[in-house]
Structure 1
Amino acid sequence: MPERIYGIRHHGPGSARAVVRELSANPPEVLLIEGPPEADDLVRWVADDDLEPPVALLGYAVDDPGKAAFWPFAVFSPEWQAIRWAVGHGVRVRFFDLPYAFRVAPEADTPSPRSTPASGQPSGLSQGPRNSAGSQPVSPGWSSGLSHSPRNSARSQLEGVEDERVRPVDPIGELAAAAGYDDPERWWEDVVEHRGVPVFEAIAEAMTAIRETVPENPDDLLREAYMRSVLREERRGHEDVAVVCGAWHVPALLRKVPVKEDTALLKGRRRGKVAFTWVPWTYGRLASWSGYGAGVRSPGWYHHLFTTGDDVVPRWLVDAAGVLRAEGVPTSSAHVIEAARLAEALAALRGRPLAGLAEVTEAAEAVMCDGEPLRTELISRRLVVGERLGAVPDAMPAVPLVRDLTARQRSLRLKPEPGERALDLDLRQDNDLRRSRLLHRLRVLDVPWGERTAARRGTGTFREEWRLSWQPEFAVRLVEGGMWGTTVAAAATARVAARAGAAGTLAEVTELVETCLVADLAEAYPAVLAALDRRAALDADVHHLMAAIPALARTLRYGDVRRTDVSGLATVTAGLLARVCAALPSAAGSLSDEAARRLRDGMDGVHQAVGLLADESQRERWLATVGALAVRPGLHGLPAGRLTRLLLDAGRLDGAEVRRRLRLPLTVGTPPAHAAAWVEGFLSGGGLLLVHDEALLALVDDWLADIPADAFEAVLPLLRRTFGAFEAGERRAIGERVAGGRSGSAGTAAEIDPARAAEPLPVLSALLGRPLTTVQAEA
């Protein structure tokens, strides 16, 4: 029955109200919803109060979970409201889009990432999944609003690449332009959201007219052929069938197409094995800016429109005032009243039936935000988009890994949240230690729920600072992680062991050693240590060996803080250090500037690591190597200066010896570039040494003053890089000592050359607009 086909806009609150109104007035026997038919068994969960939107249907290939797609639902989504109505009234619901199993079949893998999947989804008022490739984040799958564009693979969406076979058409934009609107979203609000009356027939006529003027998408034809076949099947058994689908498909469902044509189009299609479940979703991922094809720009605003009966504008502005007050911005009820009046006045001037999002935003910015864009952006992030995360029942079918994670989140009181929040952990506390291990294990499984942030100074090694933000696509990563184990710990252990076996460099293995520490994966240690022995024996590059030592030293040093058994690692670390000490002399010869910098950085890392080991014999071996290398003739200035500084910091050289060594490269006849490299290496540990050692500062200052003018430009970049790395307070203190004359060789006040001091006076006079004398410039 053509009159019972309701063409809707995905995530349109006006469409949702109209659909429910029509279904209530004319209850059908069967309700067909555009969506994956494999998810029919999950419809019953909509009646469960613990299934709180926004949620999404997640479909994935059983043999390759990386092939996955989402079908998101918000409380204002027409499909969600139609399903809830049907479940509440005992009406059978059936999804009737092209099966997702067709898309994960073997032949569906052949298109390139730039091509649309086999069951392509137009962005119009239609829905459908997008695939992901490998472990790429999976984007949601319904295409947008009333716009028509083929649905791309997830990788194409992430790269911002549109399908090249069919240029996208935006029906909302076409209809809005025909009506004289420059904003398609505002046109849709005026025509549908604010009218409150069904416009299904008018939209169907508009879609029919537009589809007659644009090329057909082959993916659309395939999907619509399947939809018609299901519709025919249901009409044979029932007299009253209602259909809720994207308005773009309505003309195709009304079109008289011979059965044999649809059968021929669908014939020979293979099916893959797929599984479906409900997963939480967020309004942030429902927004069109996130890359979601069917997204809307303002899911939070649409939620407000749908859930608020009367006084939509005043209630919205009250919520906006609450957001500003929470951030310390004084906002009174008078602000709200004036903003509401301004929004209504703007709507009247523009001929709109009601004030829309544009009007309330402009009114709030002018009255409540004092014209400050950052405050308006805050309201947009908190209210227009919204920070809402859905929930699913505990009994929802899920892979064992997801069940284990849910249980651990509950026991650790670590609830997933859509917005970012800071988490400060004290590893001396049992619960915080378990939280840290869980977050590190999830990162092993490519689920970066938490991101480490730079710890505050002075908090010690028992502190960790995290920034948490749960993303819906983690559901797919967890499904993929299920192949490694049924619990988070088991899956992370297996994943680390597999990565250790496949590691191609020593640095990769040492990184896994530290991962075993922070994630407490004791059962993975044997495999990782075996890989470490193997890679260390085969790798003769001293830079690789040096890069491996810091992670091992941290593991040995902080293993007791995390209560992790790291026995057996000390022998491996000692062996690597011995090889580094033996290989350094030969590696330090004939160095380019870049090679010298790399060697300097590697030695810094080893030196710090040796300090963590607290092993006196290893420290002596390292310092002996450093001492011998520091006096080696012909050594590049950068490592030579750095080694001298390390010996000074370690107490192996006194001030007099350091000043003697510094005079050697700073003497006349030594190339200035070599001297500058030596100074850079020596001072790269910080500028406090120059602040406290006046004699050393005098040496550097005298050397700088004696550099010939023709060589100074070549040395200047090195000096800027050296002194620019100092803290602002260190630079200030050094400048004050030099300005006070303390850097002179005799310790007396520095003399001023009147001729040189007068040179910049013309420029200063021009800048200040008045003549200057030398005395005035000094003042």
Structure 2
Amino acid sequence: MAVTFLGVRHHSPACALLVRDTIRRLRPAYVLVEGPADFGTRMDELLLGHAPPIAIFSYYRDAERVHASWSSFCGYSPEWVALNEGREAGAELRFIDLPAWHPAFAGRGNRYADAERRYGEVAERLCREFAVDNTDVLWDHLFEIDPDGAGERLDAYFALLRGEAEAGEDDKARESYMAEWVRAAGADAGDRPVVVVTGGFHKPALETLAASGGTDWPDVPRPPEGSTGGGFLVPYSFKRLDAFTGYQSGMPSPEYYQRLWEGGPDAAAGALVEAVVTRLRERKQVVSTADLVAARTLTEGLTRLRGHRAPARTDLLDGLVSALVNDDLDQRLPWTSRGALAPGAHPAVVEMVAALSGDRVGRLHPATPAPPLVHDAAAELQRLGLDRDGPVVLKLTAPRDLERSRALHRLRVLRIPGAVRDAGPATGADPVLEERWTLEASDPRGRRHSALIEAGAYGPTLAEAAAAVLDERVNDAGADMRRLADVLFDAALCGCADRSDRIAGAIAAGIAGSSDIAALGVALGAVLGLWRHDRVLGTARSPLFGTVVEECAARILWLAEGIRGGPAPADRDRLHALAATRDALLHAAGTLHLDRDAALGVARRVAARRDVPPDLRGAAFGLGRALGDTADPARAVRGAAGPKTFGDWLAGLFALARQEVLDPDGAVLGVLDELIGDLDDEGFLVALPALRQAFEFFPPREREAIAEGLLERRGLRGSARALLRAPAAPLLVAEARALEARVDRALAAAGLLEPGEAGPGARGASPREDEKENRDPA
């Protein structure tokens, strides 16, 4: 067998050059490339004449696992060059790796995950040996700047990288399968050459495995029974390829390497200096001619100092930073490590990284087959008049607008860009019957087209694909009530009524084992709203939804009665859960099996216990009042304990029964006024934060009504609205007064303040004659 193995680093111009020259020299019978074997029969589609970067998007879905991955190619990818040069040489082309859905790729979002990321110990030792920061800098130093004669150096590098380490089971499975293709191609080619292009980590193993064994062509694995899988070509972008954006197997700065591939290192450095300067000037950053001269001088100096015959990527970047950044840097330069660009990087550094990353977007040939979803979505949006740019207002009570709304929500659930909802109902209980969207049908960068292709893995139509995504989200949510409630509402908005019952069933199954009262409250609020109101979305009076309401309400009450604890800040999520239970008891008890008497008993018992958190006691009292309990509210308010717990108790009351404060007889308001007025300064400052939180349950109009009641009760005239507008933040004023009081006490303790003398606290106090008479936490 005349087999030539070429180990490469994916997306390396130096490796692409080696592949190109080898194929042109050997003109092989077969070119075998690491890539998904199940796409091998579609080489004609892959080589239609696309403008890279592009990717093969592969998907797989069964009852247990959902997997998506990308095999990406840019103009300088060795695999892309191998396929195109092989076609020019008349070779047979084959992808020889396992399909992307295979368990060997579990956990990988990209097929080309470079081996040095998994076998970092050797790479780190090499970096120390050559005194460089990371493998990217090492790679440039060894190969990219001087690619002549790189073949032997590459062999030594990958052999060292592989070393004696035992490959994982996933690598073993892949290498065994690829070796079958190599043996079969070698036997079929006879004396004619065969070129094999794979990741360099696999080369040593393939050379050994291909030396012996059967020579039959291997079968292409198919997805197991009951699963779906396949692949499509999608446009890709340099931003998705860039390691600085978190790409799993990319070399950083793809625009730099594209320029390097096209014109060499000197041309790449010159073009990208211009790109960096242009970006900085567009953002109003001053870059003078002297700065450019300094950058060039420093880059040339670093190039010579580091022993490079031409500027490497980091020579260019370090030279630019030295010349253009005069500030102290708060973090390491991003090219000294691998991974995504960290938040807070210097603006000039961000622009340098962006310039070297580039903004190129691939383009597929017009004849490229697309999944049915692409065509269905285009036809559906055109039929509904949604294939345009600009704002759209939809009346959900109008059948055609409801249909348009569902189509847009299906796009949203599938994460297809180009349609943003600006306003609309937020829950099933939301009385809003109008939606506002902003559409952007034009797709100059191909983002929408790419997303539709990738969403085609879920189904052939918008309705089926959205339903499949909802199913996936249900499976992922497990017993998480919050996530299930979100999915339920999305199912209603998408018009997936058949999924609604399944999701409600999942919520019902999780209720009995859930101890998260807040999450149960979210689920109850969502389901109750859809059960009560949603004739528009088609879920009103659903029997299954009714069962969920019954079980959620009972579970929340059971959990609430078991809560114990001392003083603590009001738990708003817990209070919202009890408010949702109140709504269920008030609005659904006549139709559903909800026991108001039993709920009233729970409310009385919780409200009377002293070992229950104050906000929960207040909420229980409020729930009892809402259900018709005749207990004296004024007496309950007086018994709400001292300044440390008073505000939290009120928060619970207001969350469940704020109408008690707004009652025209003014009993509760009068008691509140007396209690707050009787607090001394220290007590008032202690109570103030919780009191303000409690009164936040009242919307502005109701707060104004409370202020009017206070003025009327005291026989004062004035503007209630003005009373709510403090000249400074109340908490800030309170903190200032507390500080002044501490200063007074310190001065008195030091003998610097005579008895009866007014200290700074008094001098800074309000000139009002009676401070207590004017306190208003609202």
TM-score of the two chains, using structure 2 as the length reference: 0.65
Assess if the C-alpha contact under 8 Å between 1:335 and 1:367 holds in 2: yes
State the alpha-carbon separation in 2 of the partners of residues 753 and 256 from structure 1: 79
SS at match of 2:608: coil
Look up the match of 2:435: 462
Tell whether 2:289 aligns with 1:306.
no
Shift of 1:358: 1.9
1:197 aligns with 2:174: no
Aligned to 2:759: 774
Whole-Å separation in 1 of the counterparts to 2:654 and 2:394: 35
Which residue of structure 2 aligns with residue 517 of structure 1? 492
The answer (yes or no) to whether the contact 1:449–1:471 under 8 Å persists in 2 is: yes
1:574–1:663 Cα change, 3 Å: same
1:244 aligns with 2:197: yes
Q: 1:680-719 alignment to 2 at 5 Å?
A: 680-682=651-653, 699-705=674-680
Q: Does 1:679 align with 2:650?
A: yes
Task: Provide the residue aligned with 1:6 in structure 2.
Answer: 6
Equivalent residues of 2:186, 2:194 under 8 A apart:
no
- Which amino acid is the alignment partner of residue 94 of structure 1? R
Map 1:744-759 to 2 at 5 A: 758-759=744-745
Distance 1:395-1:318 versus aligned 2 partners, 3 A rule = same
1:139 aligns with 2:114: no
SS of residue in 1 equivalent to 2:28: coil
Give me the whole-angstrom Cα distance separating, in 2, the residues matched to 1:9 and 1:754: 68
Give the C-alpha shift of residue 139 in structure 1: 1.1
Distance 1:565 1:437, change over 3 A: closer
CA distance in 1, matches of 2:556, 2:133: 69
Describe how 1:67-466 pairs up with structure 2 within 5 A: 69-97=69-97, 99-100=98-99, 104=102, 117=104, 130-132=105-107, 138-144=108-114, 147=116, 149=118, 168=119, 173=124, 177-179=128-130, 181-208=132-159, 214=165, 219-220=171-172, 222=176, 225-226=179-180, 228-236=182-190, 239-251=192-204, 259=212, 262-263=213-214, 271-273=221-223, 275-288=230-243, 294-307=249-262, 311-331=267-287, 335-336=291-292, 338-371=294-327, 373-379=345-351, 382-386=354-358, 388-393=360-365, 396-397=368-369, 399-401=371-373, 404-405=376-377, 427=394, 437-438=406-407, 440-441=409-410, 462-463=435-436
CA distance in 2, matches of 1:457, 1:224: 54
**After superposition, what is the alpha-carbon deviation per residue over 1:13-45, rounded to whole angstroms, capped at 9, x for unaligned?**
122234324434553343232334333222222
SS in 2 for 1:569: coil
Instruction: Give 3-state SS (helix, strand or coil) of 1:566's partner.
Output: coil
Kindly tell me: are residues 365 and 646 of structure 1, through their superposed partners in 2, closer, same or farther at Cα, counting changes over 3 Å? farther
1:54 is aligned to 2:54: yes
1:577-623, Cα deviation, whole Å (9 max, x unpaired): 89999999999868635999576322434678999x999999xx99x
Secondary structure of 1:17 counterpart: helix
1:382 Cα deviation after fit: 2.8
Q: Which residue of 2 aligns with 1:123?
A: none
2:525 alignment partner, one of 547, 550, 553? 550
Q: Partners of 1:665 and 1:558 in 2: how far apart? A: 39
CA contact (8 A) 2:532 2:541 kept: no
Q: Distance in 2 between matches of 1:268 and 1:49?
A: 29
Rate the CA distance shift 1:643–1:249 in 2: closer, same or farther, 3 A.
closer
Cα deviation digits, residues 469-518 of structure 1 (max 9, x gap): 97999799846633xxx312034347768999999799887655522332
Partner of 1:638: 615
Retained in 2: the 8 A contact 1:8–1:244?
yes
Q: Which runs of 5+ in 2 are unaligned?
A: 224-228, 330-344, 663-667, 697-723, 765-778
Change (3 A) 1:270 1:720: same
Alpha-carbon offset, residue 778 of structure 1: 3.8
Determine the structure 2 residue equivalent to 1:592.
564
Greater mean alpha carbon deviation, residues 422-431 or residues 350-359: 422-431
Q: Partner residue of 1:569?
A: 541
Matched residue of 1:462: which SS?
Answer: strand
Alignment match, 1:481: 458
Partner AA of 2:350 in structure 1: L
| Partner SS for 1:311 | helix
Aligned mates of 2:581, 2:492 — CA distance in 1: 20
Aligned to 2:38: 38
Q: 1:410 to 1:91 in 2, by over 3 A?
A: farther
**Residue pair 2:254, 2:358 contacting (<8 A) in 1 also:** yes
Residues 591 and 308 (structure 1 numbering): CA distance in 2 closer, same or farther, change over 3 Å?
same
Structure 1, 189-198 or 242-251: larger mean CA deviation: 242-251
| CA distance in 1 between partners of 2:656 and 2:114 (Å) | 55
Matched residues in 1 for 2:167 and 2:480: separation?
51
1:211-230 superposed Cα distances (whole Å, 9 cap, x missing partner) = 56555667456356435413
SS of equivalent residue, structure 1 residue 56: strand
Please tell me whether the aligned partners of residues 31 and 194 of structure 2 are also in contact (alpha carbons under 8 angstroms). Answer: yes
> How far does residue 9 in structure 1 lie from its aligned partner after superposition?
1.9
Kindly tell me: are residues 21 and 413 of structure 1, through their superposed partners in 2, closer, same or farther at Cα, counting changes over 3 Å? farther
**1:344 and 1:765 mapped to 2: Cα distance?**
72
- Residues 553 and 610, structure 1, Cα contact 8 Å, conserved in 2: no
Aligned equivalents of 2:42, 2:36: Cα separation in 1: 11
1:178 & 1:579 partners in 2: Cα distance?
66
Match for residue 124 of structure 1? none
Find the aligned partners of 2:516 and 2:141 in 1 and give their Cα distance: 69
Deviation at 1:233, TM superposition (A): 1.9
**Contact 1:46–1:83 under 8 Å retained in 2:** no
Q: Cα deviation per residue 1:36-70 (whole Å; 9 max; x = unaligned)?
A: 43332222223323463231353658998835654
Distance 1:671 1:394, change over 3 A: same
Q: C-alpha separation between the residues in 2 aligned to 1:286 and 1:753?
A: 56
- For residue 547 of structure 1, report the CA deviation from its aligned partner: 4.8
SS at 2:7's partner residue? strand
How many Å separate the matches in 1 of 2:488 and 2:136? 53
Code of the residue aligned with 1:17 in structure 2: it is L
Task: Tell me if the contact between 1:59 and 1:275 (Cα under 8 Å) persists in the aligned partners.
Answer: yes
Note the C-alpha offset of 1:296.
Answer: 1.9
Aligned equivalents of 1:304, 1:494: Cα separation in 2: 42
Q: Distance in 2 between matches of 1:548 and 1:251?
A: 56
**1:6–1:247 Cα contact (<8 Å) kept:** yes
Shift in Å, 1:320: 2.3
Amino acid at match of 1:351: G
- Quick one: distance in 2 between partners of 1:523 and 1:256? 52
The verdict on how the C-alpha distance between 1:22 and 1:729 changes in structure 2, with shifts beyond 3 A counting, is: farther
Change (3 A) 1:559 1:348: farther
TM-score with structure 1 setting the length: 0.65
In percent, how many aligned pairs have the same letter? 21
- 1:760 and 2:732 correspond: no
2:504–2:545 contact (8 Å) kept in structure 1:
no
CA distance, structure 2, for counterparts of residue 442 and residue 292 of structure 1: 25
> What CA distance in whole angstroms lies between the structure 1 residues aligned with 2:401 and 2:314?
45
Conserved 8 A contact 1:13-1:306: yes
**2:32 touches 2:96 (CA, 8 Å); kept in 1?**
yes
Q: CA RMSD in A?
A: 6.5
